[in-house]
């Protein structure tokens, strides 16, 4: 496969992305001056829906790694939630993450700290030819999603759901709702999930000896509904459970357990712990 989408050109700024992020960050800075409790609670609810369900439960553990099975309509719903983070459409996100696993911390990794912490965190998004809407190219890495017309449409128009929600919130709650539930919420969610690309490949503990620099980082896990147990994940990428020890808080795994208990999801892939007292011995 061509590595064209995994090698950005650092001399070519993505001006559309840069301008959008500048406006969002400016709105996030202004948000505290327009505080209301209603706006705060709506922002928290949307953060849980967008990052907790859209990214962690959806884009990552379901769409990318197929760690469990659920009804197709729920797959689609989670993908729509994922677009509310402004991290691109499902085919773009899945393709990029699959390349990251293929070439983790090696030449061709889209966002390795070995190329610089700033590059891993945000630089890879700001520079290089934008691939968010090049669905045909990215479909090489996500053919399972590309066969669905819905995912193709959503990938091409990934900005539409967030735009509609933004106008709706503005009409309902005014500037405070827009600044908190869109600007501040999106900026916080972006930096939290970007920290999985940067911080969890630089700081934390390593339970498993993997070929990359992945680490388990508790504070990133708290910000991302369990995605910070990154060394566990790289050792067992298909496992829908990332927090493999009792003290590794993984809200997404707890959500999946609840959904399994009521029969909503099935065939959950889980790395098995041999002993509660010796969680170092973990097998796929």
Tens of pLDDT, residues 83-127: 999 999 999 999 999 999 999 999 999 999 999 999 999 999 998
* Residue 250: C-alpha distances to residues 114, 186, 216, 221 (Å): 27, 21, 12, 7
* pLDDT bracket for residue 11 (50, 70, 90): low
What is the pLDDT, as a whole number, of residue 131?
58
pLDDT tens for each residue of 158-203: 999 999 999 999 999 999 999 999 999 999 999 999 999 999 999 9
What is the pLDDT, as a whole number, of residue 273?
67
What is the pLDDT, as a whole number, of residue 83?
98
The HSE-up count of residue 265 (CA atoms within 13 Å, CB side) is: 23
pLDDT tens for each residue of 192-240: 999 999 999 999 999 999 999 999 999 999 999 999 999 999 999 999 9
Q: Are 283 and 235 in contact (CB under 8 A)?
A: no
* pLDDT bracket for residue 55 (50, 70, 90): very high
Cα angle for residues 10, 188, 115 (degrees, 5° grid): 25
Tokens of 49: 């829906």
No. of H helices and E strands in the chain?
14, 2
Residue with tokens 């496969």: 1
Residue with tokens 């009521």: 262
Tokens of 93: 């996100």
DSSP state of 216: B
DSSP reduced 3-state for 281: coil
* pLDDT bracket for residue 282 (50, 70, 90): very low
Its sign, for the CA torsion 67, 72, 74, 79, is positive
Q: What would you measure as the largest C-alpha separation in the chain, in angstroms? A: 54
What are the φ/ψ torsions at residue 266 (nearest 5 degrees)?
A: -150, 170
What is the pLDDT, as a whole number, of residue 272?
82
What is the pLDDT, as a whole number, of residue 64?
98
Q: How many residues does the chain have?
A: 284
DSSP string, 123-168: IHHHBS---TT-HHHHTTT-HHHHTSHHHHHHHHTTHHHHHHHHHH
Q: Are 95 and 267 in contact (CB under 8 A)?
A: no
What is the pLDDT, as a whole number, of residue 9?
58
What is the pLDDT, as a whole number, of residue 237?
97
Please indicate, yes or no, whether the overall pTM of this predicted structure exceeds 0.85. Answer: yes
Closest to 214 measured CA to CA, from 198, 193, 226? 198
Q: Which of the pair, 42 or 138, is modelled with greater confidence? A: 42
Q: Which of the pair, 12 or 269, is modelled with greater confidence? A: 269
């Amino acid at each position: 496969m061509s590595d064209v989408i995994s090698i950005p050109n650092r001399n070519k700024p993505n001006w559309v992305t840069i301008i959008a992020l500048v406006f969002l960050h400016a709105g996030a800075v202004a948000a505290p001056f327009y505080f209301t409790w209603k706006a705060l609670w709506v922002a928290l609810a949307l953060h849980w829906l967008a990052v907790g369900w859209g990214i962690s439960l959806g884009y990552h553990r379901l769409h990318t790694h197929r760690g469990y099975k659920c009804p197709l309509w729920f797959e689609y719903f989670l993908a729509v939630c994922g677009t509310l983070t402004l991290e691109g459409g499902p085919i773009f996100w899945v393709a990029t993450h699959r390349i990251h696993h293929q070439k983790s911390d090696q030449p061709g990794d889209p966002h390795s700290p070995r190329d610089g912490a700033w590059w891993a965190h945000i630089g890879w998004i700001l520079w290089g030819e934008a691939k968010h809407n090049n669905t045909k190219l990215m479909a090489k890495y996500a053919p399972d999603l590309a066969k669905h017309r819905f995912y193709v449409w959503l990938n091409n128009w990934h900005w539409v759901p967030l735009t509609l929600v933004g106008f709706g919130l503005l009409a309902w709650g005014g500037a405070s709702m827009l600044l908190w539930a869109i600007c501040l919420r999106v900026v916080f969610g972006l930096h939290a999930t970007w920290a999985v690309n940067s911080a969890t490949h630089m700081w934390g503990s390593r339970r498993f000896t993997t070929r990359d620099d992945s680490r388990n980082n508790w504070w990133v896990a708290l910000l991302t509904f369990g995605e910070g147990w990154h060394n566990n994940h790289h050792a067992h990428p298909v496992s829908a459970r990332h927090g493999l020890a009792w003290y590794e808080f993984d809200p997404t795994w707890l959500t999946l357990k609840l959904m399994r208990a009521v029969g909503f999801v099935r065939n959950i892939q889980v790395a098995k712990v041999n002993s509660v007292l010796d969680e170092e011995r973990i097998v796929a």
